[in-house]
Structure 1
Amino acid sequence: MGRDGDDSEFRFLEDADPDATSDAAESSAFEFGDGVESEDEGQDSEGESGDHGPEGHSDHGHHPVVEDWPRGVGEASWWPVVTALGAAAIYVSAALFLLGRGRNSVVGPGAGPAAFVGAVALTLFGVYGWLYHGFLAHFWTRGTDRRSARSFRWAMLAFIASEIATFGALFAYYFYIRAGTWPPANSTLPVIDLLNILVVTNTAVLVLSSVTVHFAHHALASGNRDRFQRLLAITIGLGGLFLAGQLVEYHEFINQEGFDWTSGLFGSAFFGLTGLHGLHVAFGTLLLGITYVRGRQGQFDGERDLSVALVSLYWHFVDAVWIFLVAALYAGASIY
């Protein structure tokens, strides 16, 4: 998908001629910045580009998508739409799974799992295309500007706001049943304490991972790439350790205690909230892994660190949700 004349999809600073790289960066149209330049530089570049962007489009602060899919749609990109459809299909697969259970099932028992696999594949496909064209394509040869960096940060904040709404709906359901008779009628609570040593350890692991990803970003901003890579690798390991701990917890509850998502109102609330959070941790770990690989390939520096900042922000959000979840769900359910 590279342009004619490009030797590679990615151009790294150490492999490119400094003068050629500088000329390419100055002449390239502002697409998606992965860093920040001064306001004066951004204004000079905009002044040189004139009132019209490439291909005669009016320049309203954006340029047509370069080598994006599908072509010919002006400034729009369909990758966010593909990602949203995949995410929506995950909820549809959950509904199909429920409709396929019981004697009066509406669909076959395999419809839900099959739809879930397809939905996850579509979501990952959309995320790949979105990240590739938003951050990876022509990483070193494009310009950077404050406006595009702010746009991406606001987009991430909007995404986190939508995630808060999703978790908020499940928490509202839990608080509604918690305000009534406790334990709820026809609900089974685990014999072992919910707030046990495994949960405390998992919480410490996730909090520590927020610390390591913060200092990883700080190391990159300070120009210490080796420390950045080490701390990012530690963060990924801690994320994997948290997921392993949650799987152990599920094994104990389901196989030893007989407590699962069918164990009444509390069971559905517990596994709904912790399962949704686990999916977010897994997705965040995947993003951290992609960031680590990109860093190993020579991308990112003190000025081009937007991707690292956004992934770090998302990881802090996942950490904050877990702390609230432990306080409300694990500790709150144990008090009665």
Structure 2
Amino acid sequence: MSTNDTYYVPHKAVWPFIGTAGLMMMLAGFANYLNGSAIGPTMMIFGLSLFILMLTGWFALQASESESGMYNHSVGISYRMGMMWFIFSEVMFFAAFFGALWYTRNLSVPWLGGIGDGPARATKDLLWPAFEAAWPTNGPAEVGGEFEPMGAFGLPLLNTLILLTSGVTVTWAHHGLLAKKRDQLIKGLIATVALGFLFVGLQAFEYYEAYHEMGLTLGSGIYGSTFFMLTGFHGFHVCVGAIMLSVILFRSWKGHFTPENHFGFEGVAWYWHFVDVVWLGLFIFVYLL
């Protein structure tokens, strides 16, 4: 039990290790899948199962500790600082992929095409004299195969509207919590969770169309790899955010959270708004430009 003079320190925290193991298993499975190994999908599913187990167990532990009064103001500050640093790390994560996209589109592809003076011309002559700089590209001599680039309108635009609407609904739910209107809180969360999973479902359908109708795959040169890495990791973050919002919805239905004590809700809302902003960047720089 925390008081104003003591600080609650959790013991035997096994969930971070289980979460790390799940993420490592997913990464190893994905690497094996890309290299044609039959065990890759199985490892990915097992890793995802471990990750979901971690989310379930850790959230249940946090909820029971919070509702039993173990946390004080100092613990709340630690949670806020931890969430801020976590979101900052996610910003850097996506910044690396956006940087790779910018470098590829604005530097490496033009250099390979001989655009520029000195080193650029030498690079073209040395590596692939016949290469013509263009974006999107599947590589010299079309080594990535024939494909159709993904347009911005249709499902991508619809998903943009869905995700922006979900940002509005989670904010509406937050206002309901602050105003002690639990019915508004629960309705807003239901709408947000539904919109989040709808986004993931439509993105899965978009991937199916890309692979089977457009010839656009991870192997479609640098355009295909950057497209699926950026949108795929974002889709994973949306899925995780929707799972977290589902937990918050369940806790709200059970009567948890008050206007004075609701950082569980607030932290997930921060994360969800971060996901919204990242998607806007993706829509502009991946789909539109």
Secondary structure of residue in 1 paired with 2:67: coil
Structure 1 residue 120 and structure 2 residue 77: aligned?
no
1:142-177 Cα offsets, whole Å, 9 max, x none, are 154221111111111221122222222222222222
Superposition RMSD in Å: 2.0
User: 46, 49, 58: which is aligned to 2:4?
Assistant: 46
1:85 aligns to what? 21
Matched, 1:306 2:263: yes
CA distance 1:142–1:175, change in 2 (3 Å):
same
Q: CA deviation at 1:139?
A: 4.1
* Amino acid in structure 1 at the alignment position of 2:163: L
1:138 Cα deviation (Å)?
4.5
- Decide whether the 8 Å contact of 1:277 with 1:322 is kept in 2: yes
Aligned to 2:184: 227
Structure 2 length-normalised TM: 0.83
3-state secondary structure, aligned to 1:302: coil
* AA aligned opposite 1:98: L
Query: What is aligned with 1:266?
Result: 223
Structure-2 separation of matches of 1:188 and 1:322: 28
Given that residues 188 and 267 in structure 1 are in contact (C-alpha distance below 8 angstroms), is that contact kept between their aligned partners in structure 2?
no
What is the one-letter code of the residue matched to 1:112? G
Structure showing the higher helix proportion among its residues: 2
Structure 2 counterpart of 1:63: 9
Counterpart-to-counterpart distance in 2, 1:133 and 1:64: 10
Distance in structure 1 (CA, Å) of the matches to 2:218 and 2:241: 24
The structure-2 alpha-carbon separation of the partners of 1:151 and 1:138, relative to structure 1 and needing over 3 Å to count, comes to: closer
Q: Report the alpha carbon displacement of residue 92 of structure 1 after superposing the two structures with TM.
A: 1.6
Could you tell me which runs of 5 or more consecutive residues in structure 2 were left unpaired when the two chains were aligned. 110-132
Higher relative contact order (CA 8 A, sep 6+): 1
Structure with larger Rg: 1
> What is the letter of the counterpart of residue 113 of structure 1?
P
The aligned residue for residue 316 of structure 1 is: 273
Rounded Cα–Cα distance in structure 2 between residues aligned with 1:267 and 1:276: 14
Distance 1:236 1:162, change over 3 A: same
What is the one-letter code of the residue matched to 1:182?
A
* Matched pairs, number: 259
| Match of residue 247, structure 1, among 193, 196, 204 | 204
Structure 2 letter corresponding to 1:133: L
Aligned-partner Cα distance in 2 for 1:215–1:192: 37
Q: Distance in 1 between matches of 2:10 and 2:160?
A: 45
Structure 1: unaligned runs, 5 residues or longer: 1-28, 31-44, 48-58, 71-76, 102-108
Deviation digits for residues 5-49 of structure 1 (CA, Å, limit 9, x no counterpart): xxxxxxxxxxxxxxxxxxxxxxxx12xxxxxxxxxxxxxx435xx
